[in-house]
Amino acid sequence: MRKIKPLALLIVILLSSGLSGCSTTQIAYNYADWLLIHRIDYYFGVTKTQNWFIKQRLTEHFAWHRQDELPLYAHFLVMLKAKAQDGLTQEELDWAFDSVDARLLELFSRLLPDMASFLSSLHPAQIDYFEQKVIKHPQENKGEKSAEEIKKRLEERAEKIIENMEDWFGNLRPAQEAQITKLTFSLPDIKEDWAAYRQMRRKELILFLRQKPSSSEIDALLKAWFITPSYPPEYQAKFENMGHATKALILQIDPLITPKQRQKAMKRLEGYIKDFRVLSKR
């Protein structure tokens, strides 16, 4: 599992957020740089000089992304559509996950040097501001969850999965919904672990930035986190298990989809393929 940064987040938004129709996707992409700038400002309160740097670098990154990456996204979806039309195998699912990872790694490799340059330009007050935005105070943590709270959380997770599926496949039959809901409970509950891990990394980053590291030192840290990530022992097995369980869940759900529902998803993939091709030529 990887933490997802701004442009990587864009991939996820475009592929899985539930944007409907070609025009919506294209509008979202065309305004993504503006949204990212405002999001970065929300966390850091950027200066005019920093804002200029961010705009300049995002302009170049989006030009590269349009020309080089969007055609690859379209090609990936064409291949995914061909493989998924008759149901996914374990090998095909592994290929899909590996393909997405490859694109994210390419994205991180392009972004990290500029992310490091930006972070090295932060003033102490901006680091404090970032800390206020992302670090929870001890009194905000509620400790161990009760069995009832965990059950409720799993039910809410199941509902979100159902909603996302209906976004792609249309309305599910009651029997399908019941089966899928039951299957989702096999997924590990790592919400608290993931939140704790993210909190730990944020604190590490803040402490590191307060030492006034160079841009190259920050770049090395970011590469260790995003390009060759490793997790503390208390998280490693849990995160790996979640990845395996997610794939297993997809393979269990896939045969439950009717031909009509699958065709609806294929049509939607065709829309994204068209969007990526149109955007790549602008």
* pLDDT confidence bin for 24, thresholds 50/70/90: confident
Buried/exposed code over 31-46 (b: 16+ C-beta within 10 A; e: otherwise): ebbeebbeebeeebbb
Per-residue model confidence as pLDDT tens digits over 91-101: 999 999 999 99
Q: What is the residue-averaged pLDDT of the chain?
A: 89
Sort residue 229 into left (φ over 0), alpha (ψ -120 to 50) or beta: beta
Per-residue model confidence as pLDDT tens digits over 136-146: 866 545 556 67
What is the helix (H) or strand (E) element at residue 172, kind and residue range?
Answer: none
Identify which of 86, 96, 18 has the alpha carbon closest to the alpha carbon of residue 263. 86
Per-residue model confidence as pLDDT tens digits over 151-208: 899 999 999 999 999 999 999 999 999 999 999 999 999 988 999 999 999 999 999 9
Mean pLDDT in residue range 85-89: 92
- Match 């090295």 to its residue by tokens: 120
- The DSSP code for 256 is G
- Integer Cα distance of 28 and 39 in angstroms: 15
Supply φ then ψ for residue 171, to 5 degrees: -60, 135
Mean pLDDT in residue range 100-121: 96
* pLDDT confidence bin for 19, thresholds 50/70/90: very low
Cβ-contact 93, 196 below 8 angstroms: no
